[in-house]
Structure 1
Amino acid sequence: LKKQYQFSFDYFQKFLQNNNECIRCTAAFQIVVFGDLIREQKQSINTAIGCGILLDILRTSQIDDAKSAAAECLARLAHMKSGVPQAIIAVNVIDYLCNLFSSSNDTTIGNASVALGFLSHIPEGRRKLLNRCRMEPDIIAFLKVYNCLPGLPPRLSIHLINEWDRYHTLKLPKLRSQQSNIRYFKVLSNSIERLRAAPQTAYAKEQSPSKLINFYLPHIRQKV
């Protein structure tokens, strides 16, 4: 295939520099997948460029649709056999995907959950995801809602499920979260209700009582 078909990196360059972040996501995904067919650069360089752009969008974008697109592309890359999943795990993709659970977009949460489900089959990804779940225990409920559908084999690693059940049975202490915001999750039978309150300074506590802000997501249709 490499001898018959080759692409020029310049073809992707104009899309990688596009102002539309969703288009940039698609182009970044393509240069990772077609990295071996791009003649100007080594496959490892193309992979690094593509994954770097996806992670930058996931981490810094203010557009929810762009974050959702980046999470979907990472979910597709998460079960490649070329070392890509290990590479993105090494640059903290687990935490970036878990941060998307604060989104008000059900699709964004679903894409992040599916990506994490695939990454949970890699030992290092499973370890990091389990640690994050121990910091915010209800994250595991999101993962099960989207990855353990009735009548279908779970996308979530059975080893992660067993390790979480062991943690839950032994009632091990919750790990202290390093995040700046404290988030509370509660997964209901047909929707997800969340309460989130940012930590207040001592001065703010003296001036006014703490107030929780309610966030409600649309119903998760046909997910449970």
Structure 2
Amino acid sequence: MQLLKKSRLVGTQEAVAGALWVLAGTDIDDQRNMATMIGVTHLSEFLDSPSEHLQLLGLEIFSILASGPKDFGRALAGMGVPQLLVRLLHSNNERIVLASVRTMRHICLGISWIPNTENQEMLLNSQGLNFLVALMSHSHSDLLQAEAACALASAVLGNRGNAELLYGHGDFSYSFILRLLYSQFREVRLLAGVAIATFAFNNMAQQKQIAEAGGVHWHNFQPFFLSSDPLERLNAAFQCVVLSSIIPNQKPASIRALGIKTIVDIMEEPHSKPVLALAADCVGRLAHTRAGIPSAIISINSVSVLCDLMTSSSEQIQGSAAIALGFLSFNHNGNRQLLKCCRESPLLAKILLHYTRGRRLSHNFLEGWKHLTKLGLPPIRVGGSIYPDSKAGSSPGLATSSSRGTALHIPSLTPSQFKVTNPSNMHMVRM
């Protein structure tokens, strides 16, 4: 690591960075830890390097760093990462252009689709939206067109200024994206659905525009619902819930019910880290969409399932579940169930407060938890508890999840996180 940070020889940097990334392995949490150790400063130097190998490696690492539960948005904006990504769109290497576009998507939207306004606006100011529209409209690669559409949707979600400029752009049309739903490539069809769902998220006006441009149909999503790949089923389920109002010849309520049940069912099953993290992420997104959907999610035991996911050894799963619960805490029943779970297992509150710091968590939950801590919490249950018993007066330390049999990562918590912040700063994302 010291050699990487001190050396200015491109060949040495390539060798050392490549070796470190191999050591990180394929586990998402290990990769993110390695990315954190390398640091945003040195990673941004990779993007500015003349070496295509370093550029590709830097893009891959930035995508992983930006898609995690910890908010690196301000750090990326401070190092001018959005401008560097736009600059790389001039590359003659299509792999670099594709990776740059993909990274733009990740730096604009966080877990549960919380917009990073700074990065969105920096992309706009760097002419990034114009480049992305050109790629979506004129690229000969279906995959690049689909990724550009996803990046555009991410750059305008929750950002009215960016949205007005994009929708007023002469070359922007939904017809380009809707055509990709019929691509010969399965990945492209799935990404096209992601882009359309992102544009339509919490935006009835754009849903109407999509319908008028040709719209979406049940047969666009059905093959993914029948897939053996849970990631494809999750994406299809989420897209159908968002787009249910504009899918013809289908009852919107039935489609939403199918989508929500599919997502929660996958959360309850033993799957890989990426699958469980995406499932929790999808719940978090839907938890701040149209009225009625959060209540439907809560009615099928999702709060306790998410609390169980917070006991995972994976920070990606922990964080995605905690942020989703933060949004569900705005629902009365969700808030009541969450307080009950935290009262029975107080360590859950510690994890929840850690990952929702600076994000969305209801004022009522914070007040309720503050009240419970003053009253004094009951002891952690032994029988049936997800936590092992702790001796009186001792710290729970590293607990283990009986449901998963792995070490539980317990984040640090500062006393300030128990303070109730101004409820006016806790509004949910709206477009």
TM superposition score category, shorter chain reference: 0.7 to 0.9
- Indicate whether 1:114 and 2:323 are aligned: yes
Residue of structure 2 in register with 1:196 after alignment: 400
Question: Which has more strand, going by share of residues?
Answer: 1
Structure 1 residue aligned with 2:303, among 94, 101, 112? Answer: 94
- Indicate whether 1:215 and 2:424 are aligned: no
| Matched ranges for 1:156-171 at <5 A | 156-171=361-376
- Give 1:159's aligned amino acid: N
CA deviation digits over 1:76-117, x for unaligned, max 9?
A: 000112310010111111001001022121111100000000
Distance in 1 between residues matched to 2:389 and 2:326, nearest whole Å: 21
Structure 1 residue aligned with 2:276, among 57, 67, 71? Answer: 67
CA deviation digits over 1:152-206, x for unaligned, max 9?
A: xx41111111111111111153575774643479xxxxxx9632275xxxxxxxx
| Matched ranges for 1:21-32 at <5 A | 21-32=230-241
- The secondary structure found in structure 2 opposite 1:86 is helix
Contact 2:351 2:411 (8 Å CA) reproduced: no
- Indicate whether 1:141 and 2:371 are aligned: no
| Matched ranges for 1:173-192 at <5 A | 173-174=378-379, 176=381, 179=384, 181-183=386-388
Distance in 2 between residues matched to 1:159 and 1:196, nearest whole Å: 30
Greater Rg over alpha carbons, structure: 2
- The secondary structure found in structure 1 opposite 2:400 is strand
- The secondary structure found in structure 2 opposite 1:182 is coil
Distance in 1 between residues matched to 2:383 and 2:339, nearest whole Å: 15
Distance in 2 between residues matched to 1:88 and 1:111, nearest whole Å: 16
Distance in 1 between residues matched to 2:410 and 2:344, nearest whole Å: 25
CA deviation digits over 1:11-56, x for unaligned, max 9?
A: 1010111121111111100000000111121110110010011011
Contact 2:329 2:338 (8 Å CA) reproduced: yes
- Indicate whether 1:57 and 2:266 are aligned: yes
Q: 1:184 to 1:115 in 2, by over 3 A?
A: farther
Question: Which has more helix, going by share of residues?
Answer: 2
Q: TM-score, normalised by structure 2?
A: 0.42
Q: TM-score, normalised by structure 1?
A: 0.79
CA RMSD of aligned residues (A): 2.7
Distance in 2 between residues matched to 1:218 and 1:176, nearest whole Å: 19
Contact 1:136 1:177 (8 Å CA) reproduced: no
Contact 1:194 1:214 (8 Å CA) reproduced: no
- Relative to structure 2, which stretch is displaced further, 3-12 or 31-40? 3-12
- The secondary structure found in structure 1 opposite 2:248 is coil
Contact 2:380 2:387 (8 Å CA) reproduced: no
- Give 1:52's aligned amino acid: K
Distance in 2 between residues matched to 1:55 and 1:177, nearest whole Å: 27
Distance in 1 between residues matched to 2:247 and 2:342, nearest whole Å: 39
Residue of structure 2 in register with 1:208 after alignment: none
Distance in 2 between residues matched to 1:183 and 1:55, nearest whole Å: 26
- The secondary structure found in structure 2 opposite 1:196 is coil
Residue of structure 2 in register with 1:20 after alignment: 229
- Give 1:104's aligned amino acid: S
- Indicate whether 1:131 and 2:340 are aligned: yes
Q: Structure 1 stretches of 5 or more lacking a match?
A: 186-191, 199-212
